[in-house]
Amino acid sequence: MVGSALYRNLKKKKMNLIKVSKDKLDLRIQKDVDQWLGKNKPDIIFLAAARVGGILENNNYPAEFISENLQIQTNVITSAYKKNIRQIIFLGSACIYPISNKPIKENDLLSGRLEPTNRAYSVAKIAGIEMCRSFSEQYGLNYLSVQPNNLYGPKDNFSAKSGHVIPALIKKMYDAKVSNKKKCEIWGSGKPKREFLFVDDLAEALFFILEKYKKIEPINIGSGFEITIHDLALLIKNIIGYNGELIFNEKYPDGVYRKFLDSSKIKNLGWKPKVSIEEGLKLTVEWFLKNKC
């Protein structure tokens, strides 16, 4: 999802792009990464590849989440250094931050405990952030980490079991509608608040950072808008046109009750998101209906 949006955005900027599918290059294999980077020699790497998933997926497969993400980022960052590639933009996640009821600043990193359901993923991403900082400081490189909040959009993982909350809700409600089900179960209480960022806004932000931000300190990217999972589900229900009842099952975990980023650093540089949650959901549902994932 992120890679596709970034590719579309950068293509409009007339940049010379090199892309490779994961069936052609497995970033978990160091020698393959070495060979590919040595052959293609990009000036800049946008490292968006990762093992990702929703709360249950993170909770059920922590070994894969920590090991695969550590492999991917370690291989790419160390190979980039060996091949004298001087600029990387590494995509972290808002999950790296400790549990907090206030807007989370970049310097809150490592200041408290992590949310248990995605701890393995968070630790892997924190390691990637520290790798970027360490290589930049020691070798004079520009390896930067960015921390976007919850992303959604076209080409997301529309799985009711392994997808993040927005694509999972879209899939569940679509299935309930076409099956004429009177009730649709939603995991969790619906009370937690989340900040969502449309993936094309992220792509614009990454290009903006490439041009405007020259420091090695991490930088947050958020929409600045919070919504409860309950209200989010109602929005999706209306867009899908599902007329049944939503049942919130509190036997499933909620995750943290609030995850809201302080994105003042990037906004003070002049960036702001363009796509509202309502517009972004409509675009995402439209893509889903055309592709029936």
| HEC letters along 154-189 | CCCCCCCCCCCHHHHHHHHHHHHHHCCCCEEEEECC
- Each residue of 106-162: pLDDT tens digit? 999 999 999 888 899 999 999 999 999 999 999 999 999 999 999 999 999 898 777
Catalytic residue among 7, 61, 121, 242: 121
DSSP SS3 for 207: helix
At position 164, the amino acid (one-letter code) is H
Model confidence at 39, in pLDDT bands (50, 70, 90)? very high
Q: In the numeric block, which tokens belong to residue 64?
A: 């894969």
Is 121 considered catalytic here? yes
pTM score above 0.85? yes
90-94, 255-259, 269-273, 276-280: the lowest-pLDDT one: 255-259
Question: Which whole-number Å values give the CA distances from 138 to 16, 90, 135, 141, in the listed order?
Answer: 29, 17, 5, 8
- Report how far residue 275's alpha carbon sits from residue 199's, in angstroms, rounded to the nearest whole number: 9
- Each residue of 71-110: pLDDT tens digit? 999 999 999 999 999 999 999 999 899 988 889 999 999 9
